[in-house]
Structure 1
């Protein structure tokens, strides 16, 4: 039986890689995104369905999920991927910009997870469910000028283990993936030293994260719950001294 998969922010980058991976497995996939052009392109390349919306609009996001419940009957796999990262100096970051990052990166994790829980409570229990939240290694490490992004990812880290406990009675596991450096911009030219910085010898790709999503969604992996899986080519375990 095909599993029913909903991915937020699935039109490009890591999200698109996740959509592609589940679509290749023959699953029923719907993704939402703000960009209609990239959304249409992803539909053409994967056969997934596209729901255009701004995740900061809670009404639109909830409506999209309710429509999926009406069409599918349930959602088996929820991937909260959407995120923005407007890095800028703290003194130049406005309160409105900070709020926008939180409303884009963190709040949708709560909204979508809550909607799935409400649906399952109202429609009987199910034996299988997966939520995967895209975190970042910046939940634990920071550079200057990343306050909003780091705060949002730290919130996702904490929300993940809280949701895992709350949703356990509904047989839904909740895990997070914390990517490191993932190459998602075609215009970005990688240097040999960028690859060499990683003990694995290369910068990551969206496919690295997508494969981890497939692993977490394996029905046999229900004992892996409430965890944040770091996928960064070993970068965060390196001890680096000034030269």
Structure 2
């Protein structure tokens, strides 16, 4: 790709941070949005990385950060909606506050960032939006009602953006399985038997491994690049084969 301007939400950790590193190493300009300070000390970013503290569930903050990005770089080429949180509860256990929090961070943020990024892409005549959904948009474990709902809804948002803004703008979704991030480690820490839970998660995947976030970033890099110019409106599972095998012989 020629040098691009990329906005990444949730850029301080996990998949978002790996995406930031990936695009920086490819020589692009990256703007990271997060409520937590970014830590990219291991990368020689020079003038390539700009961090903006932003609650991406609040429109005023999103509008300001996207506007500042366009003022600084002149335009915006790629938006990666990676911000996300997990809460463990059933419908009857989930409070209204927890439901709203998960929907706001996981889903509303993607809507708001796309809303304010797309006009710049339209002005340039091209752009890509990548929504980080989850394998739980297809299959669902116990006690993740708000999370799986938010991630499933992202697929509808992806299709709507792809249909409404073609042919200038593409939109795709990626659906990871278990990824070795801080959020997953917190989930393991909450288990009664951490080692047993970890092994169960590994065994759920046909590849018998937990995906490193760098592999997810590489897929996002490809899908947002020029070689994927005919791909839009689709979702891609990078899940180690979880949920496609029927037990037994």
* Fold similarity call, TM over 0.5: yes
Aligned partners of 2:62 and 2:116 also within 8 Å = no
In structure 2, the gaps of 5 or more residues are 189-193
SS of alignment partner, residue 200 of structure 1 = coil
1:175 aligned onto 2:159: no
Distance 1:100 1:21 in 2: 29
Aligned partners of 2:83 and 2:105 also within 8 Å = yes
SS of alignment partner, residue 42 of structure 2 = helix
Distance 1:35 1:117 in 2: 25
1:83 corresponds in structure 2 to 84
SS of alignment partner, residue 90 of structure 1 = coil
Q: Which runs of 4+ in 1 moved over 4 A?
A: 186-194
The alpha-carbon distance between structure 1 residues 108 and 194, as it changes in their structure 2 partners (threshold 3 A), is closer
2:145 corresponds in structure 1 to 147
Distance 1:201 1:178 in 2: 18
The alpha-carbon distance between structure 1 residues 120 and 4, as it changes in their structure 2 partners (threshold 3 A), is closer
1:33 corresponds in structure 2 to 34
1:131 corresponds in structure 2 to 129
2:52 corresponds in structure 1 to 51
The offset of 1:120, in angstroms, is 4.0
Distance 1:194 1:108 in 2: 28
The offset of 1:214, in angstroms, is 1.1
Distance 1:5 1:175 in 2: 15
The offset of 1:104, in angstroms, is 0.6
Distance 1:235 1:120 in 2: 35
Aligned CA-pair RMSD: 2.0
SS of alignment partner, residue 98 of structure 2 = helix
1:216 aligned onto 2:218: no
1:163 corresponds in structure 2 to 161
Q: Deviations over 1:150-199 (max 9, x none)?
A: 11111101110110011114x11100000001111367576556434322
The alpha-carbon distance between structure 1 residues 192 and 120, as it changes in their structure 2 partners (threshold 3 A), is closer
SS of alignment partner, residue 227 of structure 2 = coil
2:106 corresponds in structure 1 to 105
TM-score scaled by length of structure 2: 0.87
The offset of 1:116, in angstroms, is 2.1
Distance 1:99 1:194 in 2: 28
The count of residues paired between Structure 1 and Structure 2 equals: 234
Q: Deviations over 1:123-153 (max 9, x none)?
A: x342x31110000011122223211111111
